[in-house]
Amino acid sequence: MTEFKKPKARRIVGGVDTHADTHHAAVVLMNGRRVADREFSATRAGYADLLEWMRSFGRLQAVGVEGTGSYGAALARHLSDAEVKVVEVNRPDRQQRRAKGKSDPLDSYSAAEAVLADRARAVPKSGNGLAESIRVLHLIRAGAVKARTACLNELQALLVTAPAELREQLGGLKKARLADACSRLRPSADLADPAQSVKVALRHLAGRYRALSAEIDATYDQLKTLVEQARPELPAIKGVGVETAAQLPVTCGDNPERLSSEGSFAALCGVSPVPASSGRTRRHRLNHGGDRQANRALYVVVLSRMSCGPPTRAYVERGTAEGLSKREIIRCLKRYVARQLYKVIVRPQAPAAESPVLS
């Protein structure tokens, strides 16, 4: 479209629709008037050109960026390093897209207008510290755990149709012992024989299982070291292991101060009740949003305390006597745990005393 440049004294807001290879940027005035849009390459040079282009239209107040956790992560870091306020923008909902259409220029303008109208307020993760290092190691470890489980399932499925001799030899063995036994098989060179081919396949699967186990153990030690550097208080809390202590800083990011209250942290973890009232009905429903991996981490902490924490078990007994179901009790406990962990992760300088219920 035609670009109209005005004096640099005016204030502007930017919006960016991000993709793998290109980013589409747009500029709007503070009164909502659309000024210009342009496409840039998703490279360091492209990020510099994008910022320079936006600033050529006036004083840049903020930039709304779609996908700050994926395609827009590098751009968000570049803008933050240049001391530009970055706001995370969700993509337009389906109803809005049906009404206004879908294109890269429209999406970039929509991002800028969401910031201007204060519909978008979230501060993205900075992704430049220990939390980002923990995230990438935690990600590959989780993938290795899934791959090892799939490998073990494949190995056991192969044994179901294996010759009777092999089934009797390996019967009753589980996991690491089964993998060790399969690695000691000695097939002959005659792969035309199904029995020998099965032995070869079992040896390959056993080698894969052992390699994945070694990777999982190595990344566990690396995660433990990083967690102790980032948040040494977390592993000391009852029920919080290395996995949980790694997931929660990842959820908050390297700039946890972006979470203004423990209620916002609870919402981010999906443990804050959502109002669902209408007319004379006053009720709340379960929060299905938030980071589900963080929600799972809180769930693991609660289960651990319910099994071996006397104060928590007393709380469960009291809640049961009052007519609450086990699921409702767990939801309440997850909210309590979120409140405690918020004070450690986001406000570590002023830790509060632990509630007896959380012990």
Distance (Å, whole) CA 283 – CA 35:
46
Give SS3 for 64: strand
* Structure tokens, 145: 């755990």
| Backbone phi, psi, residue 323, to 5° | 95, 5
For residue 343, the Cα-to-chain-centroid distance in whole angstroms is 20
pLDDT of residue 222: 96
pLDDT of residue 330: 92
Distance (Å, whole) CA 158 – CA 16:
50
Distance (Å, whole) CA 191 – CA 269:
53
Distance (Å, whole) CA 11 – CA 31:
10
| Residue 76 and residue 27 in contact, taking contact as beta carbons nearer than 8 Å | no
pLDDT of residue 2: 46
| Backbone phi, psi, residue 285, to 5° | -120, 170
pLDDT of residue 1: 47
Count other C-beta atoms under 10 Å from residue 52's C-beta.
Answer: 10
pLDDT of residue 351: 44
Beta bridge partners of 34: 28
Kindly report the CATH class assigned to 11-116: alpha beta
Instruction: Please give the order of strands across the beta sheet that includes 86-89.
Output: 34-41, 22-29, 11-18, 59-66, 86-89
> b/e string for 231-253 if b means 16 or more Cβ within 10 A?
beebeebebbbbbbbbbbbbbbb
Beta bridge partners of 15: 26, 64
Mean pLDDT in consecutive groups of 10 residues from the start of the chain, 359 residues: 58 95 96 94 96 95 94 95 94 69 89 92 90 95 96 92 89 90 90 89 95 96 94 90 92 90 91 82 79 94 92 92 90 92 75 50
Residue 287's alpha-carbon distances to 147, 154, 270, 292, 357, in angstroms, are 30, 36, 5, 10, 22
Distance (Å, whole) CA 87 – CA 84:
10
Asked whether the CA dihedral 236, 238, 241, 243 is positive or negative, the reply is: negative
| Backbone phi, psi, residue 28, to 5° | -130, 155
For residue 171, the Cα-to-chain-centroid distance in whole angstroms is 40
Count other C-beta atoms under 10 Å from residue 150's C-beta.
Answer: 12
| Residue 146 and residue 63 in contact, taking contact as beta carbons nearer than 8 Å | no
Distance (Å, whole) CA 3 – CA 16:
17
Give SS3 for 3: coil
| Backbone phi, psi, residue 166, to 5° | -70, -40
- CA angle 306-307-312, nearest 5°? 30
Answering whether pTM is above 0.75, one says yes
pLDDT of residue 358: 53
- Where along the chain do its domains lie? 11-116, 130-230, 234-358
